[in-house]
A = this chain, B = another copy of it.
Amino acid sequence: MELTPLIRRAAQVLETPFLVLDNAYVRENYLRLKNSINNVEIFYAVKANSHPSILETLRDLGSSFDVASKGEIVKLMDLGIPTKRMSFGNTIKKEKDIKFAWENGVEYFAVDAEMEVEKIARNAPGAKVYGRLAMSSNDSDWPLSGKFGTDVDHLIHILKYAKRKGLVPYGVSFHVGSQSYNKYKWKEAILTASEVFEKLHKEKINLKLLNLGGGIPVQHTKPVPSVEEIGEVINEAVNEYLGWVKGLRIISEPGRSMVGNAGIIASRVILRSKKGTQTWVFLDAGVFHGLMETIENFRYEVIVEGKEDTKKMTMTLAGPTCDSVDTIYDEIELPINIDYNDIVYFINTGAYTSEYATYFNGIEPIKVYTIEELEHMLQGEFSPINENSLY
């Protein structure tokens, strides 16, 4: 997302930290993804950012939604989104949440374990279930292996078990890992998924759904493949390995790739100090108030207002709480003259930031504004009359 004059001005006059969201990027991301994968149905992963403006933008574009809990279902229902457009993609569901979802019209449920099948059979008889494959995710930033999914043979067993329990074995899902850099991961995953389709087809179980999960990367500090490049790999792999499946539905569950580049966090330096040979810079934003992913060393692009071209040196960047874990980056290149009150931006931080925020240390979670709200708050400031007086 571009660091516009409006955002720079907002950072000058509003209290930091805040996250600003520009839903024009969400619209563009939605349309690019829709155009990149043939016949794709998009189920936005609400957990990435559940801000109402994002959900409304996607609702109006006709998107569907991947939900993780009853809380997310209720939030979507409150925005007038029909449950037919929701899929319960969390493989670890509370039984009462399954019941609530089914009674309110949610049709699709993810499974990766026999016990989950039993829970769904008890509470959502006749529901469509898709089984999640485990993928290795060495080429991604935020690992997902282990906790979710299982192997081909186990998944086949689970889907057959679902059928015996009165459910509809409906498809296969996978997740190549959040922020995946290797586009051929999708090809490998689709090939693996096709094994499940084929083996079950031989047993007269005809799956209909290929769920591509998420994992499409957002540009931060490393170069990434574009959604078009990834789409091309997916389209070819679907044709090659699943071209024979009649009425195949393809769904994608983008989270980060839908909203990551639609946000910028603005914060300020509240202390700079030297400890031994190391320089520490402390911000009013931190791990527990928006930058949780940095503790797994997720690298955002960091810009210091007015010092973009200054010589840099290695420093430690930390948040404002009385907790060592609240250290954003142990080592980061920052402008050598970064100083008190400087504005520090974290670019493309629309996903998995405000959702993790806490009230730890008595500090409020990061505020979230849309571009429209910023415009309204700064109304008139950009007119010729008072431009000089305010800058």
Chain A residues with a Cβ under 8 A of chain B = 45-47, 50, 67-75, 89-95, 112-116, 119, 134, 142-151, 154, 270-276, 278, 280, 282, 284, 288, 296, 316, 318, 320-327, 340, 355-364
How many whole Å from A165's CB to the nearest CB in chain B? 15
Instruction: Please give me the residue from chain B that is nearest to A357 by CB atom.
Output: B358
How far, in angstroms, from A189 to B19 measured CA to CA in the complex? 41
Q: Are A116 and B324 in contact (CB-based, < 8 A)?
A: no
> A105 to nearest B CB, angstroms?
17
Interfacial chain B residues near A318, Cβ < 8 Å: 92, 147
Task: Tell me how far the C-beta of A132 lies from the nearest C-beta in chain B, rounded to whole angstroms.
Answer: 11
Please give the distance in Å from A20's CB to the nearest CB on chain B: 20
A358 contacts B358, C-beta separation under 8 Å: yes
A322 to B287, CA, bound (A): 19
Are A270 and B361 in touch, CB under 8 angstroms? no
**Complex alpha-carbon distance, A370 and B151, angstroms:** 44
The answer to whether A270 and B92 touch across the interface, beta carbons within 8 angstroms, is yes
Decide: B68 and A361 in contact? CB cutoff 8 A: yes
| Cβ–Cβ contact A75 & B362, under 8 A | yes
If the complex has contacts A90-B322, A147-B318, are A358 and B361 also in contact, measured as CB distance less than 8 A?
Answer: no
Q: Please, which residue of chain B has its CB at the minimum distance from the CB of A355? A: B360
Shortest C-beta distance, A162 to chain B (Å), equals 14
Cα–Cα distance between A95 and B67 once the two chains are bound (Å): 41
Question: Chain B contacts of A67 at CB under 8 A?
Answer: 362
Q: How far is the CA of A73 from the CA of B74 in the complex (A)?
A: 35
Minimal Cβ-Cβ distance residue in B for A47: B361
The docked-state distance in angstroms from the alpha carbon of A318 to that of B362 is: 27
Evaluate contact between B47 and A270: CB separation under 8 angstroms. Answer: no
Chain B nearest CB: distance from A107 CB in Å? 19
B residues less than 8 Å from A296 (CB atoms): 325
A363 touches B71 (CB 8 A): yes
Chain B residues whose C-beta falls within 8 Å of the C-beta of A75 in the assembled complex:
362
Contact, CB under 8 Å: A70 / B134: no
Instruction: Indicate if the CB atoms of B68 and A340 lie closer than 8 Å.
Output: no
The distance in angstroms between the C-alpha atoms of A69 and B360, with both chains bound, is 10
- Best-buried of A47, A143, A151, A288 by chain B (most CB within 10 Å): A47
Q: Report the separation of the CA atoms of residues A278 and B113 in the bound assembly, to the nearest whole angstrom.
A: 13
- Structural contact, A273 and B114, CB atoms closer than 8 A: yes
Contacts of A356 in B (CB 8 A): 288, 358, 360
Given contacts A47-B362, A72-B361, contact A147 B273 (CB under 8 A): no
Is A324 a contact of B115 with CB atoms below 8 Å? no
Q: Which 6 A-B pairs have the closest CB atoms?
A: A71-B362, A113-B273, A72-B362, A68-B361, A69-B362, A92-B282
Of the A-B pairs whose beta carbons lie under 8 Å apart in the complex, a sample of 12, sorted by A's number, is A47-B360, A68-B362, A68-B363, A90-B322, A94-B320, A113-B272, A114-B273, A115-B272, A146-B275, A146-B316, A151-B275, A296-B325
Q: Which of B113, B274, B323, B361 contacts A69 (CB 8 A)?
A: B361
Chain B contacts for A320, CB-based, 8 A: 69, 90, 92, 94
A275 adjacent to B134 (CB under 8 Å): yes
Give A94's nearest chain B residue, CB to CB: B270
Q: A71-B362, A362-B71, A362-B75 are contacts. A47–B275 as well, Cβ < 8 Å?
A: no
